């Protein structure tokens, strides 16, 4: 537990959390939406500071980031808690328990006990210096703040990212895109890349299934691109929920309006959490989404969560040469020049960070 950076007092010992776009007004002894930021005697504390969940060495492609240091390893970790309540969350055992406890109609003392229990059971003690040291020892090129929403542990991420930069490591977020203006200002100088989930283009989908808001996510996607942070976007395609050609077209058009070079990952859904009755995404639906993205004019569209080397590999948008071959997590650079970031054949620049 550590005193948070991003909050301000309001009145009567109530504080406003400034980590994410909910801007929770938190009375004394209560929690924010995420269930891991608590007002104690008029001060806001991050309960999961130094409490890491995960701590795995992942291929960078798993984030997914396809145009950022391909073939390298990212030391990945998260914490307990989340700002969203996605009904399809594949990491719900990690992201949702404290949020559920926060909303449950049980006495405060019982909430305190259960939240503390969840954090202690799932977490390991990993202060920032220990994380950076592990990344260096394991030859990771980057640290990924992932598995749950990094914004809710922004102070922990900030201290780690700042130290990582001093040691030549890259920092990357896998995010729902719900950062506050304050958290963006805090982390942007130390953030090299981000993959943002654009889960739908329907505000009602965000309200009912994600328990979030679409408009702020769209704003933050624009902000990240404007700031020059390497940006990739992922959409999980859920049958009968966000898979209509009309909605997929809207997403592709939005991405193109910002930059047609932004990679768009369209990934397969598998039944999880509270959507166990929803069938997996048919491969033909993913192919349709891929075709829509290409027709709209996106230069880099990728199919994920199924084995499909043809549609997960990178091709030159000018001469169609195979630049990077991917099959699962196997990545081979074929005709991309990493030193110049160009196609070997036609010398067309390929947007990304390659070395």
- The pLDDT of residue 321 is 97
What does DSSP say about strands 170-175 and 193-197: parallel, antiparallel, or unpaired?
Answer: parallel
Q: For residue range 309-320, what is the model confidence (pLDDT) as tens digits?
A: 999 999 999 999
Domain containing 130: what range? 48-197
pLDDT, mean over the chain: 97
Residues 76 and 161 in one domain: yes
Residues 162 and 224 in one domain: no
Residues 125 and 85 in one domain: yes
Burial class (CB in 10 A: 0-12, 13-18, 19+), 138: exposed
Residues 206 and 175 in one domain: no
CATH of the domain at 211: 3.20.20.70
Q: Which residue, 197, 212, 233, sits at the end of a domain?
A: 197
Dist CA 288 CA 322 (whole Å): 21
Dist CA 192 CA 13 (whole Å): 37
Q: For residue range 265-293, what is the model confidence (pLDDT) as tens digits?
A: 999 999 999 999 999 999 999 999 999 99
Residue 340 lies in a domain: no
DSSP assignment letter at 333: E
Residues 37 and 78 in one domain: no
- On whether the pTM is more than 0.85, the answer is yes
Q: Which residue, 179, 197, 215, sits at the end of a domain?
A: 197
Question: How would residue 189 be classed by pLDDT, with cut points 50, 70 and 90?
Answer: very high
Concatenating the DSSP letter of every residue in 34-79 gives: TSSEEEETTEEEETTTTEEEEEEEEEGGGTT-SSBSTT-EEEEEE-
Residues 54 and 133 in one domain: yes
Q: For residue range 342-354, what is the model confidence (pLDDT) as tens digits?
A: 999 999 999 999 9
Residue 116 lies in a domain: yes
Residues 223 and 157 in one domain: no
Residues 35 and 72 in one domain: no
DSSP, collapsed to helix, strand or coil, labels residue 175 as strand
- Residue 145's closest CA among 84, 81, 209? 81
Please give the tally of structural domains in the chain.
3
DSSP, collapsed to helix, strand or coil, labels residue 117 as helix
Residues 164 and 281 in one domain: no
Residue 80 lies in a domain: yes
Residues 107 and 25 in one domain: no
Region 83-89: mean pLDDT is: 97
Q: Which residue, 29, 46, 63, sits at the end of a domain?
A: 46
Q: For residue range 8-38, what is the model confidence (pLDDT) as tens digits?
A: 999 999 999 999 999 999 999 999 999 999 9
Residues 146 and 170 in one domain: yes
Residues 206 and 101 in one domain: no
């Amino acid at each position: 537990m550590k005193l948070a950076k991003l909050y301000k007092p309001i009145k009567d010992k109530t504080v406003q959390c400034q980590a994410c776009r909910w801007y929770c007004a938190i009375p004394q002894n209560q929690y924010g939406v995420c269930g891991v930021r608590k007002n104690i005697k008029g001060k806001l504390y991050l309960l999961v500071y130094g409490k890491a969940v995960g701590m795995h060495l992942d291929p960078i492609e798993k984030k997914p980031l396809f145009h950022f240091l391909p073939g390298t390893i990212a030391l990945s970790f998260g914490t307990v808690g989340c700002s969203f309540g996605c009904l399809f969350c594949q990491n719900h055992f990690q992201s949702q328990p404290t949020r559920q406890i926060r909303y449950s109609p049980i006495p405060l003392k019982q909430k305190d006990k259960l939240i503390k229990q969840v954090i202690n059971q799932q977490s390991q003690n990993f202060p920032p210096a220990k994380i950076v040291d592990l990344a260096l020892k394991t030859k990771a090129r980057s640290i990924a703040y992932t598995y749950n929403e990094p914004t809710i542990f922004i102070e922990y991420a900030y201290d780690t990212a700042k130290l990582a930069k001093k040691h030549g490591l890259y920092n990357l977020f896998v995010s729902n895109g719900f950062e506050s203006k304050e958290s963006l200002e805090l982390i942007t100088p130390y953030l090299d890349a981000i993959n943002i989930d654009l889960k739908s283009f329907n505000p009602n989908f965000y309200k009912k299934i994600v328990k979030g808001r679409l408009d702020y996510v769209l704003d933050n996607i624009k902000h990240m691109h404007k700031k020059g942070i390497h940006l990739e976007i992922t959409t999980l395609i859920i049958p009968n929920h966000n898979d209509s050609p009309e909605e997929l077209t809207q997403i592709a058009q939005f991405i193109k309006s910002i930059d047609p070079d932004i990679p768009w990952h369209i990934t397969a859904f598998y039944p999880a959490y509270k959507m166990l009755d929803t069938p997996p995404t048919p491969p033909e639906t993913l192919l349709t989404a891929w075709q829509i993205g290409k027709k709209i004019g996106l230069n880099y569209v990728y199919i994920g969560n199924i084995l499909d080397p043809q549609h997960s590999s990178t091709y030159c948008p000018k001469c169609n040469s195979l630049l990077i071959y991917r099959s699962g997590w196997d990545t081979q650079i074929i005709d991309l020049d990493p030193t110049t970031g160009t196609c070997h054949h036609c010398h067309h620049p390929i947007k990304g960070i390659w070395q």
